[in-house]
A and B are shown apart, each in its own frame.
Chain A
Amino acid sequence: MSGPEYLVEMRGIVKKFPNVVANDNVSFTLRPGEVHALLGENGAGKSTLMNILYGIYRPDAGEIWVYGKKVDIRGPRDALALGIGMVHQQFKLIPVHTVAENVILGLREQGFVINERKINNELTQLIQRYGWTISPNSRVWQLSAGEKQQVELLKALYRKVRILILDEPTSVLTPQETVALFQTLRKMASQGLGVVLITHKLEEVFSVADRVTVMRAGRNVATKNVKETNIEELVELMIGRPLLKISSTRSLDTSKPVLEASGLVVLGDKGLEAVRNVSFKLYRGEILGIAGVSGNGQTELLEAIAGLRKIMRGKVLLDGVDITNRHPQKIIDAGVSYIPAEVLRYSAPEMTVAENLVLKAYRNHLFANSLMIRWRDVNRKAEELVKAFRIVTPTITNKVANLSGGNIQRLVLARELGTLPNTKVILAAYPTRGLDIASTEQIHQELVKRAEQGVAVLLVSEELEELMALSDRIMVMYRGEIVGVLRRGEYDVEEIGLMMTGVKRAEVSA
């Protein structure tokens, strides 16, 4: 195929938002037939750059060349006219409409009367070409996340885009769906499309991309051929330094457990038993990992210990004191901190960063006397935590609703790890889910540091690597039950994987 070397060439793009320069003189090129990964940490400016290409933002400076011609993209309509399509993180589909209706929505070329049969034929052809499973007539609400994404891709293909941007497309997909998506992307590239994949996950770069452009703090730091680079190099480019190793010199004191659960039975939201007869002991300074596919009772278990969900049977002892079904306030005061999986569900979005940081500690003598909250002390602490936990916010009086997801997550961590004195147990549910590398690393360091100080940590995660790196023991949960416990030194990915599907430990080793 002859033609210009680049489908897209962005030169010297600058985009400033109040208080932040999102893109600082960024250059980017996209060749026909390539999958180009745009890699970077949260807030590195990847999405901003691509939103500029798609016409959602207008750059403050810089030039955009498409097919070798300088263009001025004033909005998504201009972008689409140039053959540029974008699939956002949140799907922009109408659930009650069919796939076909969603695809043609907004197309002016259809005229007044819609030729349904013709459209369905064209769509069916496209669907078959890519080996998808959706049908033009199915309603969008019936589709899984992966299938909805196929509809978004179908929209782009039907509009004959030659440049396709995907913003963190795998964040909503299962591993199998991710594999299928990457096959689709390769196929699109082989048809001569240029595909931009915005991501912060390194393994995606190596499994699908031809070239990778790394962004850090609003600048493009490097563009590499994927074949000529490696994980260590990309990590260093992304975070500006090599990753710290997790090292810990803690010794366990297993004479007396800090937290002891026996025979816990907890109901889930649907009224069925989500946690069945779970017993374990957690010791001072220990990190106890809970492995399992999410939705197997892990969250319910932590909520029950934190007092947010009723324990139907069984007992929880903290330092020998019964805290079963006590009021959450009592459990907080007893020294249990809880990092929930859904951070926004447990935040006050219209209140300030400082107020959210002391959401649990406002009664504490550090921040209040018997009558009043001492906001000066709160604010001092908040400034300190914002810095320590790298929460990106203009001021500590900014509303939490205006923070990005990653920042809210860091805020919750700062709250749980930074404002409560005499913490004895940390319950952590997926504390690094969705976080970028530097933040994940920081959370890991924090948890290990707390464990070294004698805090006991109950860590729920889906990432086996994370669990194996941090935990002293790993319990595997399946359908609300503990199917087995492994000690450090006997970790085996395959064995844990099998146990996560319900195979009991004894059967595994037998």
Chain B
Amino acid sequence: MMLKLEKRGQFSRKFSAAVTVIFVAASFLVAGLIFEILGVRAVDVIARLFEVYLSERTLLEAALRGLPLGFAALGLTVAFKMNFWNIGAEGQIYLGMVAATGVVLLHAYYGLVPDFLVLPLMVVLSFLAGGLYCALPAFLKAKLGVNEILPTLMLNYVAYHFVNYLIHGPWRDPKGFGFPLSIVFPPYARLDTVLGHTAYIGVPAAFIIAGLLYGFIMYTPAGFEMRVLGQNYEAARYAGVRIGRTLLLGSLIAGGLAGLGGLTIVAGILGRMRPPSAYVGYGYTAIIIAFLAALNPWLAVPAAVFFGGLLVAGDVIQATLNLPFPAIQILQATIFLMIILGEFFKRYRLRVVI
């Protein structure tokens, strides 16, 4: 008896979704096994996790925690579609936070604009900051042919330390007893004051953006160009795609959305800026979410809420089961590995040859 891998032909979207669901389910089994080894009943852990999605309060919390992930993941669907391997959502999130916080601080100290204009200004500037931060490696790629993976990755560290510098230095609250915290944002600069809870405005906004992105990718010439570019660089050149322009536009959107994710952290979750160690890793988790959603913007939003729930569950598990928070990262990582494995089995089938 022998196992043989066979290439599958074309597969349907339904099949693809089914495989993903099966493999995500399988990741719970694998992670459960690890929990058992750690001496915790896997059933308990997974029950705690699903309880998160069942009560309104924790579900709202999951949606809230999922927002930065979701915005960043939405951006990544665009970047990855055009074969721009942006590993830098993390840094772009930080830049979005910096821009948003910068607006608040400037306004608080110097009174720039009328209060009601502060939030819109934060939205625009955090988008631009994240977008330009992502456009920088795109520019290097377009002009000099520099592969984007390392620059986007390394700019994360630059951004991390930049935020650290700001919060330990000039942006520290002068009345904050030396803690590395900014001032608390005033109500007009906070998302939770708009409709009572950040998720109430954030989730619909994410869905609207998902719809816009979907339409952009599928129906506009620029989106078509991004898809062609993602498929085959030579074909894109041949088709007359203006590659530099396409890369810049796509990366601006991708980084911009990550920047909005940063905005939701400071203006929606924390209400102030904290040192980056408080939210490190969101940009990487967003990569997992983009792939879990199969680069479909519509699916990125629920996938982000799902991952937001994992974060919430992490806190719960830590508190009630006496497991360290990284336990939940085991689950995240297992899910990611299983998604990759699932992608493989979408393309190949295992056959037993006798």
Tell me the A residues contacting B by CB distance below 8 Å.
75, 306, 308, 327-333, 338, 340, 345-351, 355, 359-360, 362-363, 368, 371-373, 375, 398-399, 402
Contacts and interface: CB of A to CB of B under 8 A. Distances in A.
Interface core residue of A308, A362, A371 (most chain B CB under 10 Å): A362
Contacts of A399: 10
7 contacts: A331-B240, A332-B239, A346-B234, A347-B235, A360-B238, A362-B221, A368-B221
B193 to A, nearest CB: 36
Given A328-B240, A338-B238, A360-B239, A348 B231 contact: yes
Contacts of B237: 308, 328
Given A351-B227, A359-B239, A375 B219 contact: yes
B219 A372 contact: yes
Contacts of B232: 345-349
A331 B231 CA distance: 22
B224 A360 contact: no
A345 B234 contact: yes
Contact of B10 (A75, A368, A402): A402
Nearest to A75: B353
B219 A346 contact: no
B65 to A, nearest CB: 34
A57 to B, nearest CB: 13
Given A345-B234, A399-B10, 6 more contacts: A329-B242, A330-B240, A332-B239, A360-B240, A362-B221, A373-B220
Interface in B77-98: none
B313 interface: no
B9 interface: yes
Contacts of A327: 240, 242
Contacts of B220: 371-373
B10 A373 contact: no
Q: Is the interface of B mostly helix, strand, loop or mixed?
A: helix
Interface core residue of B219, B220, B224 (most chain A CB under 10 Å): B224
A328 B220 CA distance: 20
Interface in B225-278: 225, 227-228, 231-232, 234-235, 237-242
Contacts of B238: 306, 308, 328, 338, 340, 346, 359-360
Nearest to B232: A348
A359 B240 CA distance: 9
A348 B240 contact: no
Interface core residue of B220, B225, B235, B241 (most chain A CB under 10 Å): B235
Contacts of A332: 239-240
Given A329-B242, A359-B239, A362-B221, A350 B231 contact: yes
A121 to B, nearest CB: 32
Contact of B227 (A338, A340, A348): A348
A112 B240 CA distance: 58
Nearest to A364: B221
Contacts of A75: 353
A399 B219 CA distance: 18
Given A329-B240, A398-B10, A373 B219 contact: yes
Contacts of A359: 228, 235, 238-239
Interface string B207-233: 000000000000111001101100110
B230 to A, nearest CB: 8
A148 B170 CA distance: 70
A338 to B, nearest CB: 7
Q: Which 7 pairs, one residue from A and one from B, show the smallest C-beta to C-beta distance? A: A329-B240, A348-B231, A346-B238, A359-B239, A328-B240, A332-B240, A372-B219
A9 B128 CA distance: 72
Contacts of B221: 362-363, 368, 373
A345 B10 CA distance: 20
B271 to A, nearest CB: 39
A345 B235 contact: yes
Nearest to A330: B240
Contacts of A355: 224, 227
A289 to B, nearest CB: 23
Interface core residue of A331, A332, A351, A368 (most chain B CB under 10 Å): A351
Nearest to B9: A402
A330 B220 CA distance: 20
Given A327-B242, A340-B238, A349 B231 contact: yes
Nearest to B241: A329
Contacts of B353: 75
A375 to B, nearest CB: 7
A375 B234 CA distance: 24
Interface core residue of A75, A333, A340, A359 (most chain B CB under 10 Å): A359
Nearest to B223: A373
A351 B242 contact: no
A360 B10 CA distance: 25
A348 B235 contact: yes
Nearest to A372: B219
Nearest to B234: A345
A429 to B, nearest CB: 12
A423 B31 CA distance: 60
Contacts of B219: 372-373, 375
